[in-house]
Amino acid sequence: MSPSQESVFPEYETETSQTSKLIKKFKDTPFVPIGMGGFFAVVAYGLYKLKHRGDMKMSLHLIHMRVAAQGFAVGALTCGVLYSMFREYVGNPKE
pLDDT category of residue 9 using cuts at 50, 70 and 90: low
**Residue ranges with strand state E in the chain:** none
Task: State the pTM of this model.
Answer: 0.58
The C-alpha atoms of residue 56 and residue 49 are separated, in whole angstroms, by 11
Residue 43, in any domain of the structure: yes
Instruction: Say which residues have a Cβ less than 8 Å from residue 45's Cβ, sequence separation at least 6.
Output: 65
Q: What is the pLDDT of residues 44-82, one digit of tens each?
A: 888 888 888 778 888 888 898 889 888 888 888 888 888
Total domain count, the chain: 1
Helix (H) or strand (E) holding 63: helix 58-85
Q: Is residue 35 part of a domain?
A: yes
Residue 69, domain extent: 30-91
How far apart, in whole angstroms, are the C-alpha atoms of residue 72 and residue 89? 26
